[in-house]
Each structure stands twice: as structure tokens, then as C-alpha cells.
Structure 1
Amino acid sequence: MSDSTDELSDARLAASLDGDFHSRYAEVNGIRLHYVIGGAGEPLVLLPGWPETWWEYRKVMPALATRYRVIVVDIRGMGGSDKPDSGFEKKSMAGDVRELVRRLGYEKVDIAGHGIGAMIAFSYAAVHPEATRRLAVLNTTHIDESYYEFPMLPRPGDPPPHRWWLAFQQVQELPVQLLTGRARLIIDYMFGLSLVDPDAITPFDRDVYARAYSPAEAIRASQGWFQAYQQDIEDFLGYDKISVPMLGLAYGPFFDYMKQVLPGQGTDVRMAEIEGTRNYLVEEQPEAVVREFFAFFT
């Protein structure tokens, strides 16, 4: 089925958004990256999290495009981007984004990320401060040694969530065998765990994500993001403090956590709490995210 007739294709999805968005590809660091670009103004790079794709930002892209040249990237291993066997360290993936930025003719960008994308955005600002104007991290700090303390078995009364999927992603082969063609199961589970409003991510949206994650190569590649965590921790321990302005967006208990740790990771840190959401704040509270982005990036 061609992109012109496939309603779930990146080209059709991009064209459905206000802001003159287009689906594009670029060769960077030996792989092909997919990105969606639109709007006019200073460049703003957006990086998605798991189990989503660039489509995570669909609700905020049209508004952001009124002020920025919005560039939403399917990171290495995600969606329409290549799914190689290696290179999933967040520092390396930040290098992918840096090369894409150069290919697009920019030397310095604003950058924001959620989940895995937040770790890459953080690494981008840490490794390439000369190429970073401002950094926003959404509901996720860069992985650090505290991840080693997550319990395999939660004690009675331990607050949720129990992050069992971090260990699951470390297992070789079995996740591919279980999830090939059935990624919708874990997608619905993750959204059910963290959405305040289940309707914020519709069945159509979930079909978009399930299509992206159901092939065996997509499951294997997404596992690579988690299996690189040990190296990511070592890289993080070697980073200097973020020297550009940094914004943390989060909700409730994780807002409190980010408010505690982020000031120690940057020299100019501000925080904003997004109400009425948990993890998927871009999709549940897009107007609040746009408002905070305008206040911070402008």
C-alpha cells in the first residue's frame, strides 16, 4: 500500500496536521533517520519516548509551528527510522540528532524530549552545548545509578509503578517472541498504567504506535534503548553540568523528584508542574505543554 492511500503512513499523518508538516528522511551516521518538519522560525527539535513515535507530539505541533521551525525526530530504532544492531547509547543517539541538525543547515537549536527522548536531549545538551540554545526534559531525568536500586519484587505498600518492563527489556529474544505482531498489548498496558484520561490517546493513535512497534526488528531495536542503560549511566557520570537553560516539566510525585535532582544537573534550571496527567503529559495536556514551551523557548 502506498503512502498516498495508507492512512497510518507517516506522510499521511504529517499532512493531516496544520502547519504545513512533511515527512522526510536523512542519512546520518550510517543510518536513515525519519523526521517530520513544519512551521517557521527558530528550530525546535522534539524527541519522543517509548512506546510512541513522532506522532506523540501531534497535538502540540500545529501551535508550536506558529513560532518555530518544528523538527520531530523518530530516534534511531523508532518508527520510520532505521533499526540497526547497535548505537543505542544515548550519547551516540544524540550524535544522530546533531548530524541531522547540521544536514538541515542549523548550528544551534532548542531541543526537548520525553522519556527515552528526554535522555537523548539531555545528552545532546551535555555533549554539544555549542549546538544547544535551550533544553526541556519532560517527565524523565537522565538515567543514573538510582536505576540499579529499582526492586525486582516490590514490597507490600511500595508506591506504583513497579518498573518491571525495565528488566523485561534486558531479556534476549523472549520479548521479540512474545510481542511480534502483538505490541498493542504492551502499548495498551503502558497507557492504561499512566493515563488519567484514557481517551487522550485514541484507538487510532494506538494503532499508529502498534504498527510501529509490532515488527520483530522494531521490538529488538527498542530493546536496544534499554539494554544500553549501563553505558548510559557511565556516560552520565562523566558529563559536566548542563550549561544552557534547562526546563523540567512533570506531574505530582515525579515533579517533586525532578525539582530535587535537576538543579544539581544544570547551572540554570527552572521547573513547571503540569496538572491533570501522569507520564504522557504531551498527549493529555497539550495546551499546558505549549504554554510552558512558549514561555521557556521564546
Structure 2
Amino acid sequence: MTISNKFDVEELIKLVPGFTHHYADVNGTKLHYVVGGRGEPLILIPGYPETWWAYHKVMPTLATNYRVIVVEMRGMGNSDKPIDGYEKKNMAKDIFGLVKKLGFKKVYIGGHDIGAHVAYSFAVNHSESVFKLIMLDTPHPDAGMYHLPMLPILGANFLYPWWLAFNQVKELPEQILEGRMNIVIEWLFKHLLNDQTSISDFDKAVYVSAYNSKEAIRSSNAWYQAFPQDIEDSKTYNKLTMPVIGIGGESGYELLQMSLPNITTDLQLKKVKESGHFILAEQPIETVKLIMDFLDS
């Protein structure tokens, strides 16, 4: 199968047997999601610069015990890309609307990267609807982000996250990158993966096709442009009381270790060794085992 400027989700879903894809109108927007398996509902949310395909290596295993629903959040993939509404509290409201539309009273929920921001916001704002929360490699934005360096620190063993600032800029990124997101996506995977073979050229093509348009760049950048409001919202949140697990790669684990103990009361922290940021791609067997051990306990 070849991937064009807009990948064919009908063909892509066939590569993950037992799963189908659907749309739902919630909170004034349309969300695209894929679903498969049986059991208690498990909502999973991908992050930047990926789509539902980020979970394709772990979906079949999770589906043996759970009803797995992978949601492309507002602005991602085949979901709508409205002009506004990208505050994580509102995006969590999108997911809450989907959960209710699907008829679930309570769910397990997890997310990676920006998806982890939304999953946390769901858990803290709709705690009555959550059994357990899974945070993959990324904590929710907090005031500590204001202390990120404007310049790389000479000699520091730290990847300078320039894209967090670049994605704050309005209008310019989509003018520069429309039709050229392969450059950014290739760079991110090159520098945030330990094992370069864990994300294939096909995987990259799927993601490039989802982010290459002007509206896709604008809407994905809007996730980042909402950070100041997300940080203000976080100051009003109570500690989570449901069980929470933070699973991180070599550097992501440190971020989770700094953040999650301050906002939870029932926490497990697990490090995935020999993995960069994209733990679902690099170490899917270990990651899915940690998830299932946590959910089954």
C-alpha cells in the first residue's frame, strides 16, 4: 500500500486485524477513533507528531483483555481541525463527550506526549469517570516549562526542545512547512529515538501525510499555543486519587519523576530502558506488559 498526501484510513485499518474506525460529533467538533477488543473500555490518546497509528504495535495485545479505543484528538489526523478549543481542559471535554456517547460510565485512560496532557486533564476534570490513568513519557504542562532555556546549554546532556517555542508562533510555521513536514518529522524521530529502526519509513509516511497540510500544522501547533492556559488551569487542580502509572523512556522517566509525585496520591513509576521518547514504537513488548500489569492489578 502506498501513502499519498492523505493516507487512506480504510486501507490502514486493515493492517490491524480486529479493529474498525468511526467518527463521533462531540463538544462542537468531530473526533475520529479506532476501536477493537472486548472488556472494560481503555481510551488511548496519541501525541505529536503521530496519529492513532502510534499504538498499532500494542493495540492487538491490549485488545485481548480490553475494549481499546484509540482517539485522534481535536486537530489530529482524521479528526476535525477547528480554529480554537485546544486548551487541554476543553480537549478532555471532547473525550468526555465521546465516552458518554459510547455509553461508558467509567474508563481506563492513557496518553503519550500531548495525548498524556489530555488524558491527565480528563482524569482531573472528570475523575468520577476514571478507573486508572496511564501517563506515557510526558507530564501535563506546569509552570516549570517557563524555565526551559531559550538557548541550548553548552555541554549539557539535554536535547534542546526548540519545537516547543517554534510551535508557539502563529501563521509562520504552516507557511514554511506546508508540504514539507517530512523534514521536521524525520528530525524529531532521529533525535528522540534510541533505535532508529523502530519507526519505519512506512510509519513516517503515515505521519507525514497526516501533518503535511496547512490546517494540520496550524491545529497541531495550537496544542502547544494553549500551554499558558494549560499551566494556569493546572494551578487549580486537586491531586488525583485514582491509581496512576507513569511509564517513561530514559529521559521521559525523569520528567515524570519530577512531576507526578506532586499531583497524585497513588502512583507507580516505571522506566523503559534503552528507549527514547517513543516508547510504544521502541519497546512495545515491555511497554504493553507494564500497562497490562497495572490495569490488571
Alignment TM-score, normalising by the size of structure 1:
0.96
Per-residue deviation, residues 101-158 of structure 1 (Å, max 9, x unmatched): 1111101000010000000000000000000000010110111011111111123112
The aligned counterpart of 2:138 is 140
Structure 1 segment 139-288 matched on structure 2, within 5 A:
139-288=137-286
Alignment TM-score, normalising by the size of structure 2:
0.96
Q: Distance in 2 between matches of 1:256 and 1:179?
A: 32
Between 1:256-265 and 1:165-174, the stretch displaced more is 256-265
Q: Distance in 1 between matches of 2:72 and 2:140?
A: 19
Does the residue aligned with 1:252 lie in a helix, a strand or coil? coil
The size of the alignment, in residue pairs, is 294
Kindly indicate whether the alpha-carbon contact (under 8 Å) linking 2:108 and 2:132 is maintained by their aligned counterparts in 1.
yes
% of aligned pairs identical?
45
The aligned counterpart of 1:17 is 16
Q: Distance in 2 between matches of 1:158 and 1:133?
A: 40
Does the residue aligned with 2:169 lie in a helix, a strand or coil? coil
Per-residue deviation, residues 84-117 of structure 1 (Å, max 9, x unmatched): 0000000000000000011111010000100000
Q: Report the AA paired with residue 143 of structure 1.
A: P
Kindly indicate whether the alpha-carbon contact (under 8 Å) linking 2:76 and 2:220 is maintained by their aligned counterparts in 1.
yes
Does the residue aligned with 2:254 lie in a helix, a strand or coil? helix
Between 1:166-175 and 1:109-118, the stretch displaced more is 166-175
Deviation at 1:160, TM superposition (A): 2.0
Q: Distance in 2 between matches of 1:113 and 1:218?
A: 20
Q: Report the AA paired with residue 203 of structure 1.
A: D
Q: CA RMSD in A?
A: 1.6
Q: Distance in 2 between matches of 1:190 and 1:110?
A: 29
Q: Distance in 1 between matches of 2:257 and 2:150?
A: 26
The aligned counterpart of 1:123 is 121
Does the residue aligned with 2:259 lie in a helix, a strand or coil? helix
CA spacing shift, 1:265–1:160, aligned 2, 3 Å? same
Deviation at 1:261, TM superposition (A): 2.8
Extract unaligned runs of 5+ from structure 1.
none
Per-residue deviation, residues 224-269 of structure 1 (Å, max 9, x unmatched): 1000000000001111001110000012243234224312210100
Q: Distance in 2 between matches of 1:84 and 1:256?
A: 34
The aligned counterpart of 1:68 is 66
